Amino acid sequence: MAMNISKAYTLVLVLLFFTILPSISGANAGLGASFIFGDSLVDAGNNNYLQTLSKANLKPNGIDFKASGGSPTGRYTNGRTIGDLVGEELGQPNYALPFLDPNATGKAILNGVNYASGGGGIMNQTGRIFVNRLSMDIQIDYFNITRKQLDKLLGPSKAVEYLRKKSIFSITVGSNDFLNNYLLPVLSIGERISESPEAFINGLITNFRSQLTRLYALDARKFVIGNVGPIGCIPYQKTINQLNEDQCVDLANKLARQYNGRLKDLIKELNDNLPGSTFVLADVYVLVSEVITNYRKYGFVTASRACCGNGGQFAGIIPCGPQSSLCTDHNKHVFWDPYHPSEAANLIITKQLVDGDTRYITPMNLRQLRDL
């Protein structure tokens, strides 16, 4: 009798182990899907399919992107974007394909989809200078198409679960609303001639609130929102304003900080008012500022000059292309071109977003968000 009790006890333990094991392993499982929205900082090739002046499908862009054998893919950097790197770190098996890529269909969308577009912004008029680009409103329209495809692939109830529990929605947007809208010369098509900074930023926040709430209504629950970086320190701004190496454009950075303060309040508001949602704020401004200020500590030789570009002291006027001057060591420059970080800088930023503390990302980092 004692032996039977012992065997029964052992059997119960074995059953308990195999019952608990899936939930333990599931806590560390890879990211289900990554849905990426935003601008050229995370565009993975959508603009390749648009008639636009904003393109990165020319060499030497992508020269260090191993997945393409060093060929340009439409990414505005020498290698991987932050979106690519975050997906890798969180265990995503494949990069999220651009929505406009003909291959972004069927089961491929279960890895997620990238809707980001070079020149795109929160406001629909942002980036008009490039002729065509996908604004945030259009990007969410496209996600709505993906949302219906997921219902067909998984069935409605499983699609809801997949989106709410296993997917992360990352949004990196806002820089173009200043650089290619508000800060354009007054005689051009910028908004400065008719709006105060406060009024313009109010409009940004109002639109962005509506856009994020719309994504929530489409079953997005885990969000990471990047604020606007120190746009006054990019090679383009430093070049056109004829600054010294250690200077940044005060107005551009002041506008970014002003917007970022309002964005922080918006994130708190959404966390409080949208049940079941988790909005994480990535402080890109602080992160990038730290890399620029302490660039030598991170192994860079310059945080001012573009690796690939032409024009002025910092090669900061003409975008990267076949005729551009190209630095010898792409990993030694914070900036790949007049606007965008190099893959080496993206790696540093990604590490802090995925595993960093609340100095850079709050209320939790992306690994914690994935496992939530």
The one-letter code for the residue type at 29 is A
Task: Please name the residues in contact with 323: beta carbons below 8 A apart, sequence gap of 6 or more.
Answer: 310
How many angstroms separate the Cα of 188 from the Cα of each of 64, 181, 185, 227?
36, 9, 5, 26
CA dist., res. 42 & res. 216, Å (int): 21
Do 131 and 178 contact (CB within 8 A), yes or no? no
Q: How far apart are CA 249 and CA 294, in angstroms?
A: 18
Catalytic positions: 40, 337, 340
Cβ neighbors of 355 (< 8 A, separation 6 or more) are: 89, 365, 367
- Contacts with 63 (C-beta within 8 Å, 6 or more apart), sequence order: 70, 78, 79, 330
The residue written with tokens 């969410």 in the block is: 140
Of residues 200, 211, 203, the one with CA closest to residue 138: 211
Task: Give CA–CA dist 99/103, Å, rounded.
Answer: 9
Cα-Cα-Cα-Cα torsion 232, 359, 354, 224, nearest 10 degrees, comes to -70
Residue by residue, DSSP assigns 88-113 as: HHTT-SSPPEETTSTT--GGGGGG-E
- Residue pair 329/305 in contact by the 8 Å Cβ criterion: no
